[in-house]
Structure 1
């Protein structure tokens, strides 16, 4: 590495013959000698190159060697270049003192001693090369340190992600065990009660009305289990990229009307209502089953967190997007939680109405993104929440609109 480092040498003298002689004397492998016949020309070279050594003649017309050295010491780029003065003057102490005061590291006296010049130049060249190698090693060490820091940051990030994943797993298992146990406990109690009635011969417990109530309770519990299983399957499909869509042309307004009608009984049970406003027919090509799944989740959440206050649903078109807005007047969502609720196993709060696996909004957002749409949320804590589903209108519907406009 040392042998490959080019050492640039600067020689300054107003006499060309002196420059030629000194140049021939200090030439060597991996050395590059630059000549200047004045201090001004030397300054230009100093600003352009990095030199291992500057050999300056003291007595030059105009700016002399001492003055040039002082300028070099006052400039950041040239401050640390070793300076050797060449002089024909005697070895008077005051003359040498002035030279060292100007920044010299050594003196060469004319007539030059060939061996002394070569030896001294070789020392400075070797020092320069060693310093360059040391700089390269320090830079390599710094790069290595930065790489190690980056690696440590990645490891720390991976550790945090792993800890988060473990916490999510534990939370998920806890939620699943709780959510699955609730409908199962209901079914188990119903089964035990029926066995007890049968064992006692209490056939009155199986009248038509009571059987109807039993079937309805069983159906609710089974549907709860099916919903939990479907949510977990959807998460698996999303993670593996197997969430398939089957788009077809349908009226979004009609779908929302049907959903609102289905949720009416649930709203009445909570002593509230769902108000619906549709601008008219709004058709597009989407996966009807999946969009129904998204809207059902939004309506269910609005009733769950709506504090038994009316829920407002609106279907409209805006900027080429089909929009469904679901607004409640319940507990609301703080700004810090408005992105978190779309993550896996996250729920709005520890509100007493909170249930489920915390997957509904995560799955809904993934479904909507697969349709090239989005879900927006506007909310303040304690001020209710408004979720807006936006879906791009299909090409076929836009063509139908253009055809209707042309015929009109």
Structure 2
């Protein structure tokens, strides 16, 4: 905006209209005092000032304007129709004027002068803005440099305080700083710690980290200056980023020599112990095989003399036993004992056969159970038992051994039925997610949980572990027949099939045996998998 100062309204009006017609904003003052008041309140880029005015003349107003810090740089054009002498023009310039125009003036010349001052004003303002931005940028750079300096000092202080070898690199990979522990492994900051010929060098580690652009942790061996022994260290190379650009690298060596030596010692001991265990396992396997062969042969050979005892006992009983009552009693005990011995030997043979390798197949247990029920038809009819069997999905099993499992469980369910109570046996099956009795039901599960429940005499669950141990009985021979091997055979078969077995029971309220076995649909099993 332009301020026109003149005591004559007609001069102000004509000049104001000239400037406004050329798109300049104009303000006016009719005295020097009014002009000074407006200059303190407003901002002008040019003052056109009349020399001859009552009160303060133009020279005095110009001196006052240039004396204010706010207005000292505002250009002033003097207009004068009276004071045309050189000394007045000189005074106009010395009092702060930028130009001196005499009246009458050429409007076009005046407009050119005003336009020139306006362009100078714009250029000055742009220059001022540029200078302000430059000052702000310089201040920001200085603050950033100070922050970086403090960060570097803090980083160096931290690296100096840690009890590890530490150093920093610039973005080009040149060492900038090393802490005091560096000098225990290298002579001077420019030299790197020595590494063995067969291991990676420090230079290679640094190049690898810089090539990756991310943190690298590498194992190296370096040698202290006062020792001939290389020590294992972990070299951690970590980039320090500024504005997402790597500004420097921080390297730290961590001594792991003792841990490395201890690990190697432990690995050697583990290797030796593993070899010893493998050798012991081989010896144990050979011993078990010999023991199994012995049990099989011994049980098989025992049957021959036992068979003769049974045959000749029956002959004596039939030919001579009717003559004397005592003889009948004694022969009956001999024959009964021989029968029990025969069953015991048969069970031992069956138990020993479980350790002989057999083929696994996808097995339809439903067919096996139907065959077992057909074989037990007379006993089932005698007991008037109700047996319900739900459909069981295929199992990955040895068919003959599955027959033993369900034969023994169903036989026990019928044998240990309550007196005067009609036996009720129910076999249920469901797919589960894992080999555990409490596994959740899963229609896509790879295991089958089979529950065989009955309403027999049951047992106290305190003896749960005992019932699966060979030759363990919860009842005397006089109460219930048996050798105490049946459930032990079941347990061993389930174990070798990779399954689990348990039971729940309560005396007088029946029992429930729970079996969890792999299913025949498992794709991970080989069709001809064997176990030993």
Question: Which TM-score band applies after superposition, normalised by the shorter structure?
Answer: 0.3 to 0.5
Query: What TM-score results when the alignment is normalised by the length of structure 2?
Result: 0.30
Q: Tell me which of the two structures has the higher relative contact order, counting C-alpha pairs closer than 8 angstroms and 6 or more residues apart.
A: 1
Structure with max Cα Rg: 2
Query: What TM-score results when the alignment is normalised by the length of structure 1?
Result: 0.39
Quick check: which one's helix share is greater?
1
